[in-house]
Amino acid sequence: MLVNPIKRAYLALESWFNISFGTEWNPLYHLGTLSFFLFWVILVSGIYLFIPFHGSLAGAYESVEYMTHDQWYAAGVMRSLHRYASDAVVITVLLHMFKEFASGRYRGFRWFSWVTGVPNLWMIITIGITGYWLVWDELAQYVAIGSARLMDALPLFPGTMTRNFVAGEMTDRFFILIEFLHLLGQPMILFFMLWIHVKRLSNVEINPPRGLAVGTFIALLALSLVKPAVSHGPADLSTAPQVINLDWFYLNAYPLLDYWTEGQTWILTTTVTLLLMILPWLPPKKDGPKAVVDLDHCNGCGLCFDDCPFDAISVQARTDGAKFDNEVIVHPELCAACGICAGSCPSSNPFRTSKGELKTGIDMPQLTADDMRNKTSEAVAALEGETKILVFGCEHGLSANRLDRKDTKGISLICSGMLPPTLVEYALKKGADGVMVTGCRHNDCYYRFGNRWLKMRFDGERKPILRGRADRNRIRVHGGSETDKNEIEKDLNAFRAELVKLNQADESSSDKLN
């Protein structure tokens, strides 16, 4: 299967991180929650720094120098934490965007999250820019003059901001305005924008794994002690700074003003922003048919509502006069067509009926529960050999059909999360010696929670559970991407060897009974 070079590069990076950190603490699987954690570090350290900070032209630089040098062991460390956590959040956000782009998780139904996410990066950067102003050193002077030039080039402003700096007319009142923007105004706007960004998601997590959070904090603390953040010389509006050490995460556009006009700089940044915003439609992507509810087979239990990763299902009072109190409805504009809801429906149990079509409370038109049962029966019947293995895979991991051989057959699903646990038991009862389920890499489901919910159902931690009568020794779960075929085949061979021993043990027990 052909994998585009960008995605292949990302998958290689992800694999290296898995080796270094393990799948549970791989930061590439927790970029969103890691960003929230860094926001907390920035917030707490910022509040601490605000206490001794003197928000005025005359007192800002001296108070920062006091914190940096006289109280280096406390406020100085906090300043460095504040600086490096701010840089780190730009890295995590950029990596998050690259990951979503490389994995194709920005088009189709995901356009909303992508389009609302791009402005968040610019808001983070503007918060960092105003933060540099508050130090009021030579770097702050350079940033302030550059920002004023950019603002003056916009028709929204009166065109006199630059005069405050070039003519030395900046006052404490203007400085206090910058302080308000950095400490309260911009963070509140960012908070609202982040809420919009995750509005279409359910079960939103904001805390990374504890080990990853602790490790990240220790790394930031160590960096703060080894290389403390320091200021340039004090700002002097009567002279131009000669040597500036830029923070390229936040201030990368300012050197352009040395070569380009303000208008050209705006054209570049605006063009890049607009290009990022329209990426979901270059070209547009069509999602598959949406989930469909069949009230004749829906008892309103709400399991599909609990499991839906994109808040596309809601529960309301019954409308068909049935004995049940509730029913579920699907909002097509939010539905990802992933099928996870079908896997959570108790009516998807293939043992419910042996004759006629298997109907469920919620199903996918392109691959119904009845289709999955029929495909399972056909695949098991076609298996030959000493060990008969059925493999369920998903469209966004390794194609299950690539593992086909006489004793192994694959069935491709939209998402591994749409697999009803009872269908695995059904396959074993039909004659399969073992069932392997592949899908996306662990903790990195294309549809957010498919492989997680599947594992929890198999472990009896989430309904519908894999029933106790199913032989867990004959069930294997191994997630992997398109590039992980060798690893999955290696595990499949090990599984095959284990099944041979199980079959021999069962035959031995049967002989003793006879």
Find the CATH number of the domain harbouring 226: 1.20.810.10
**Same domain as 311, residue 212:** no
Q: How high is the pLDDT of residue 1? A: 52
In-domain check, residue 504: yes
139 Cβ contact list (under 8 Å, min separation 6) = 132, 231, 232, 241, 244, 245, 246
**Same domain as 384, residue 240:** no
Q: Tell me how many domains the chain contains.
A: 2
Q: Do the Cβ atoms of 312 and 330 come closer than 8 Å?
A: yes
Helix axes 5-21, 77-102, angle to 10 degrees: 130
**Same domain as 379, residue 254:** no
Of residues 508 and 501, more confidence is placed in: 501
Quickly count: other Cβ atoms within 10 Å of residue 460's Cβ: 12
> Residue-wise over 284-311: b if at least 16 C-beta within 10 A, else e?
eeeebebbebebebbbbbebbbbbbbbb
**Same domain as 273, residue 305:** no
Cis before residue 283, ω within 30 degrees of 0? yes
For residue 437, the cross-strand partners are 392, 477
pLDDT band at 286 (very low <50, low <70, confident <90, very high): confident
pLDDT band at 2 (very low <50, low <70, confident <90, very high): low
**Same domain as 235, residue 327:** no
Mean pLDDT of the chain: 92
Instruction: Show the domain range for 396.
Output: 292-351+358-509
Nearest partner of 251 among 45, 92, 86, judged by Cα: 86
Cα separation of 388 and 404, whole Å?
Answer: 11
In-domain check, residue 435: yes
The last residue of one of the domains, among 260, 281, 302, is 281
Task: Find the range with the poorest average confidence among 67-76, 120-129, 155-164, 352-361.
Answer: 155-164
Q: Helix (H, G, I), strand (E, B), or coil: what is residue 281?
A: helix
**Same domain as 449, residue 343:** yes
**Same domain as 62, residue 183:** yes
Q: Is the pLDDT score of 167 beyond 60?
A: no
Q: What tokens were used for 431?
A: 């004659």
In-domain check, residue 79: yes
The last residue of one of the domains, among 281, 300, 331, is 281
In-domain check, residue 514: no
**Same domain as 212, residue 65:** yes
**Same domain as 382, residue 267:** no
257 Cβ contact list (under 8 Å, min separation 6) = 146, 149, 150, 265
Q: Is the pLDDT score of 169 beyond 70?
A: no
Residues 61-70: what's their mean pLDDT?
A: 96
**Same domain as 462, residue 342:** yes
In-domain check, residue 287: no
The last residue of one of the domains, among 281, 304, 333, is 281
In-domain check, residue 286: no
Cα separation of 212 and 44, whole Å?
Answer: 19
**Same domain as 242, residue 204:** yes
Lookup result for tokens 């990426």: 279
Q: What tokens were used for 421?
A: 């646990």
- The model's pTM: 0.92
**Same domain as 244, residue 330:** no
Q: What is the pLDDT of residues 311-331, one digit of tens each?
A: 999 999 999 888 899 999 999
